[in-house]
Structure 1
Amino acid sequence: MNSDIQKYAEYLNNLSGNVLLGCDGFVDETYEIVEERKSLTEFTAIEHLKQFGELLVDRADGGVGVELVPKRRCEGGFGINSGRIAAILGLKPRLPGLYGKANIDPAFAEFEAICELHSLGDPALTIAIEFGDGKLLMTNLEAVSSLTWADFEQHFSQEQLKELFSDVDLLGLGYWSLTADFDGFFQGFMKQYETLTPPRRMFFDFADIKKKSSESFVKSLKLIESYNSKIPMTFSLNEHEVLELCSRIGIERPELNPATIGASLKIAREKIGFDELVVHTPEFAAASSAADGEAYAIQERQTNVIRSAGAGDSFNGGYMCASLGDLPIKERLVMANAATAFFVTHATGPTKEELIAQIEKASDK
């Protein structure tokens, strides 16, 4: 094992920390669309998302009928998908969320033993259409969008709340654009640390920023910024979300080039007042950190993709695990890229050994 890989092996073999992620929960029913059927059992699926878009445009003045073929029914959401990476790497993340009201939904059964699940109700339902190069997600958001901090608080006793938020090293809150009471959750989380020792870092995935108004977006950013000096804040975005961020905060949209995007990320990070800003794409990941400066790591686009829904959350899970120790920023990105690459080609998270092997395959490590 060469020295580049040895540092990751040593880090993972000593990985430790308490992770708390909330507060969503989805069941994903995933399908592919038939392009051409040859027989009862043989068909070709629409491979590219653009193909499907062109089909809709071509038939825009009439009806469009497609055949769906089920692929799987599985878990979904920021908490569970990001938490999976931490759990398989040997941690036991605390995951308050929507996993089933009376009983844990079968989609989350595998997580009961490896995560600390706290179910607040039934999950939201997402219909996911997967293509070789992307996905279309259609969600009945009522369960998530109607969940409030007051609901969360009523679910736990004061002693249980204290136990849940105590000794947390990394705190995460996901899907701002899907959670109507996101600011309420954030303030509720921060309230716990008026008396408890605060986590070393807090992590955010806002999801589709375009869904909400600029006014609410800026309000949330300013609210989070006001706590950045107490808890360093990390904001993670995909390639579309980083362009929307720049547009909304009034800075020039960056070119999605790994060698040049760092300068734009630094300007954006300083403007919103967060400690870290991270962007992940199918070809690279880049970040700007107040302490570590800027870095990027190349990620080969995976060709043998068997599951794309959850790829971004898997990146987040890998990056959060990489943030629990003292890895430099470049290595944090490499580890997160490897977690994503393994997930999309195996539909699960990697063990420590599998993650090291995935990093070894990367051209940039």
Structure 2
Amino acid sequence: MADGERTKGHTKSGIRSCREQLSTGPQEHTVLFGFDGIVDTVREMIAERESRDSVSRIRELDSLGTRITDSVASETSVAIEWLDCGTRTGGHVCHLSRTLGRWGLAPIMIGTFGTPMESEFESSFAEYTTYSIGEPGTTDAVEFDDGKLLLTEAGDYRDLDWKSLDERLGHNQLARLLEQADLFGMGYWSMIPALSEILYGLAEDVWPTLSDPPAHVVFDPADIRHLPDSRLVDGFDALQTLNRQVPVTLSANRGETEALIRSGGGSVTGDSMLDLATAARDILGVDRVVSHGARASAMAGEDDHALVETLHIEEPEIVTSSGDHFNAGVCLGLLEGFDAGATIALGNAVAGAFIRSGRSPTLPEVQTFLEEYGAQV
């Protein structure tokens, strides 16, 4: 069987399995997320202003790159107008909690929401249990049809380490919250440089004291390409240390997965997302690695793996935080005990429904998307 035919078969079986297993009723799980918090302003860049009220936008990242390289070649400045398309709370904690909370799960949120909590977080998460450990960051998220440009000013999460987490929250309080959770999610490594220190602390100081710990840890590194290899390799050891206490699932996009492989001394060959996820898992030494992309997503585990195509969205409403929505689907799949194919299909469906509508989908909307997804791939 050709690779394309094999992938198509895995995709159809994953979608079918997900549709059969997914309940659209309220999900009775408690989830804990830490440790960031960001205020996102979504923006679009203007290519040409035809009149006061009429503009055309820069639709592709490549077009923006051409403008910049042309300016460099001509030794001139780059001046680009942008539009404010709305403000919302962002980051790993907020996006995952918002999506899973909409499905009936009970989120517990630890993050940099402000002291006192800033109004954007208070209005969005008043019904959830929240613990603020500092001031939030801010991000201008510039949307393009083929990607995004994130311009970020860091919040107090930048200086977070194991000692300061004790000072701001308390290790004993963290242990009590972990006892309540079925799944614990952490992100982003790219914004919390000392996250590996926190991983060690969790594995060595907290997890051995828990009588009823979470069944899963989901770890999102985000774009770690600016971190030195030495810090990443230390993080690999920290992840392995925690993985000896609890199954760890690391989820990253294609570029992030490739960076992890190279930092660990591996080489990136071929286009297969499953090969990437498998290579990353071999280097990281965790239970599962998930790699997600625009065309396909994959999960590599010890006894279960899957490669599932995505459904192309012709006119995306938004792409910023689509990876977080994918991860929300993965979290629910893990909690519900789905196999790898169904879990990845669910992640793809949640992300696809979000990209198309611009808002976190309900579970009935995810099920509807799965029906279309299965018919078209």
TM-score, normalised on structure 2?
Answer: 0.89
Q: Which of 76, 81, 95 matches 1:62? A: 76
Name the residue aligned to 1:173.
186
Q: Which of 241, 265, 269 matches 1:226? A: 241
Q: Shift in Å at residue 181 of structure 1? A: 2.0
Report the number of matched residues.
358
1:1-365, aligned counterparts within 5 Å? 6-10=19-23, 12-13=24-25, 15-60=27-72, 61-106=75-120, 109-113=123-127, 115-156=128-169, 160-190=173-203, 191-196=205-210, 197-257=212-272, 261-292=273-304, 294-363=305-374
SS of the residue corresponding to residue 323 of structure 1 reads helix
Q: Shift in Å at residue 227 of structure 1? A: 2.6
Distance in 1 of aligned mates of 2:251 and 2:18: 25
Q: Which amino acid aligns with 1:155?
A: R
Structure 2 gap segments, 5+ residues each: 1-14
Distance in 1 of aligned mates of 2:134 and 2:313: 36
Q: Shift in Å at residue 4 of structure 1? A: 5.1
SS of the residue corresponding to residue 356 of structure 1 reads helix
8 Å contact 2:108–2:129 — kept in the other structure?
Answer: yes
TM-score, normalised on structure 1?
Answer: 0.92
Name the residue aligned to 2:12.
none
| Greater RCO (CA < 8 Å, at least 6 residues apart) | 2
Q: Shift in Å at residue 208 of structure 1? A: 1.3
Distance in 1 of aligned mates of 2:225 and 2:172: 38
Q: Shift in Å at residue 128 of structure 1? A: 1.6
Identity across the alignment (%): 26
Change (3 A) 1:152 1:57: same
* Superposition misfits of 4+ residues, deviation over 4 angstroms: 2-6
8 Å contact 2:171–2:206 — kept in the other structure?
Answer: no
Structure 1 gap segments, 5+ residues each: none
Q: Shift in Å at residue 158 of structure 1? A: 6.5
Q: Which amino acid aligns with 1:161?
A: L
Change (3 A) 1:250 1:351: same
Name the residue aligned to 2:8.
none
Deviations 1:309-363 (A, max 9, x none): 1111111111011110221110000101111111122222111111111111113
8 Å contact 1:27–1:123 — kept in the other structure?
Answer: yes
Deviations 1:4-46 (A, max 9, x none): 5652343x43733221110001111121111111221111110
Taking only aligned residues, the RMSD between alpha carbons, in angstroms, comes to: 2.1
8 Å contact 1:85–1:339 — kept in the other structure?
Answer: no
